[in-house]
Amino acid sequence: MSTKEVWKRLLGFLWQFKGLLLISFICAAISVWLNVLAPLLIGNIIDRITALHDIRSILKDVALLVAVYGFYSVFNWGMMYASNKIAFSCSCVLRKQLYEKIERLPISFYDKNAKGDLISRFVNDVDFISDGFLQGLSTILSGGVTIVLSLYFMLRVNWIMALIVVVSAPFTYLVAKFITSRSQKYFAVQANALGAMNGYGEEQISGIRTVKAYGHEKQSLEQFKKYNQELYTSGVKSQFYGSLANPSTRFVMNTAYTVVGVTGAALALMSMITIGNISSFLIYSNLFSKPFTEISGVMTQLQSAVSSGRRIFTIMDMTEESRDEHAPVLQAAEGRIDFEHIGFEYEEGKPLMKDIDLHIKGGSRIAVVGRTGAGKTTLVNLLMRFYDIKSGRILIDGQDIMKVSRDSLRQNFGMVLQDTY
């Protein structure tokens, strides 16, 4: 599944909360507008002070500036609250849908997937998606609006210095994109390594009695060390490449910031710009560049979200157990069981049973005896329709179990499993 497809599906979850999205966007727009309005007021205050204006007009501008920052804080809180609620609501819906999906998958799915890896998808992968949205959504949302408004005010103050800042922006984007494209594969490896380690750990802890009985503690530990080392190696690589984005983009923007400062000083000496305007522009320059560094900083979380989303959607797209809600109901059975020419295989091309015939009279008591792996449990699993047979048919009181509902079939059995629950 491509990264584009993963993001398309993740954003589909977001669209369920379009009301909160609208609130978040409105709050972001207002808070950002207030935030970029403040430097203009700061510049005016500086110019009034340098021009020796009366104290009342200066205090009036200061009071207005305090009010602007106060309302900015309120609307910024509203944006963060709405964004956080969206992120956690998405994770809640995603976990619910994932659990519902897993319940509808056939038993063969559980044979091929470690329980620890499934738990890792429920907990870690969904958390990675939530964290990616939690930081990424609010950062991208407010950052995009900040860039547009800051650019507008910079052009109003001085187009020459604005041009310097704008020219540096593509370099910031290209640096971040280059690093992101190189580090994406390492985050995918890290997510898989985490699932594999969790799966092995859960398996060993669940079977600790067997491990101790055979004295395999050392072998178990050595194998765990391998999984742990793979996670460590992939984690170090992903974090190393991911962490390059923020300082690299910050270097580009700081270089531009220095050039802007020198240019502003030169223009001030030629009386082409006031000290207050220089102060305002430097703040705008910082506001303009800051979202680029912040967005590059959340690339790590966004890449983890994509890798985790791919792991979750892989399960979501798996073929479910065939539905049988409208199948006939098997009434209370007398107990006559017939296996007729049964063929079965766990893996395609590796037959386990061929042309098996077995006839059991109702009310009789039998024992199925054989060596480990002979197929005793498999025989019962087929009778319960935990797996579907490859060929032949199984009859209960003359009724083909493939043509009755699973629920009604299993209600006719009492089964004591080998594993406790």
CB proximity list for 110: less than 8 A, separation 6 or greater: none
Summarised one tens digit per residue, pLDDT across range 219-252 is: 888 888 888 888 888 888 877 777 776 777 777 7
pLDDT (mean) for 341-367: 85
Average pLDDT, the chain: 81
Summarised one tens digit per residue, pLDDT across range 123-134 is: 888 888 877 766
Query: Which residue in 282, 255, 253 sits closest to 267, CA to CA?
Result: 282
74 falls in which pLDDT band (50, 70, 90)?
very high
Given a contact cutoff of 8 angstroms between Cβ atoms, the answer to whether 208 and 174 are in contact is no
Q: What pLDDT score does 75 carry? A: 92
pLDDT (mean) for 286-314: 79
108 falls in which pLDDT band (50, 70, 90)?
confident
Question: In the Cβ-directed half-sphere of 215, how many Cα atoms lie within 13 Å?
Answer: 0
Query: Which residue in 83, 86, 142 sits closest to 295, CA to CA?
Result: 142
67 falls in which pLDDT band (50, 70, 90)?
very high
Q: What pLDDT score does 73 carry? A: 92
Q: Could you tell me the CA-to-CA distances from 226 to 196, 230, 236 in Å, in that order?
A: 11, 6, 15
Summarised one tens digit per residue, pLDDT across range 380-411 is: 888 888 888 888 888 888 888 888 888 888 88
In sequence order, what DSSP letters do the residues of 142-188 get, joined into one string? HHHHHHHHHHHHHHHH-HHHHHHHHHHHHHHHHHHHHHHHHHHHHHH
Summarised one tens digit per residue, pLDDT across range 33-55 is: 998 888 888 888 888 887 766 78
Please tell me the least confidently modeled range out of 61-75, 100-114, 355-369: 100-114
Backbone angles phi and psi of 338, in degrees to 5: -135, 120
Given a contact cutoff of 8 angstroms between Cβ atoms, the answer to whether 150 and 36 are in contact is yes
Summarised one tens digit per residue, pLDDT across range 137-156 is: 778 778 888 888 888 888 88
Q: What pLDDT score does 72 carry? A: 92
311 falls in which pLDDT band (50, 70, 90)?
confident
Q: Which helix (H) or strand (E) holds 263?
A: helix 245-269
Ordered by where they begin, the domains of the chain are: 3-316 (1.20.1560.10), 337-410 (3.40.50.300)
Q: Which helix (H) or strand (E) holds 373?
A: none
Task: State the Cα–Cα distance between residues 407 and 110, nearest whole angstrom.
Answer: 20
Q: In what order do the strands lie in the sheet with 391-396?
A: 353-360, 337-344, 391-396, 399-400
Task: Determine if residue 351 is left, alpha or beta; phi over 0 gives left, psi from -120 to 50 gives alpha, anything else beta.
Answer: beta
420 falls in which pLDDT band (50, 70, 90)?
low
Give percent of the chain with pLDDT exceeding 90: 4
Question: In the Cβ-directed half-sphere of 109, how many Cα atoms lie within 13 Å?
Answer: 16
Question: Collapsing DSSP states into helix, strand and coil, what is residue 390?
Answer: coil
Which residue has 């909360």 as its token pair? Answer: 17
In sequence order, what DSSP letters do the residues of 273-337 get, joined into one string? S-HHHHHHHHHHHHHHHHHHHHHHHTHHHHHHHHHHHHHHHHHHTSPPPPP-TTSPP--S----E
Query: How many other C-beta atoms lie within 10 A of the C-beta of residue 174?
Result: 12
Task: State the Cα–Cα distance between residues 15 and 311, nearest whole angstrom.
Answer: 21
Question: Collapsing DSSP states into helix, strand and coil, what is residue 1?
Answer: coil
Question: Collapsing DSSP states into helix, strand and coil, what is residue 73?
Answer: helix
273 falls in which pLDDT band (50, 70, 90)?
confident
Q: What is this structure's pTM?
A: 0.64
Summarised one tens digit per residue, pLDDT across range 159-215 is: 888 888 888 777 776 777 677 666 767 777 887 888 788 778 877 877 777 777 777
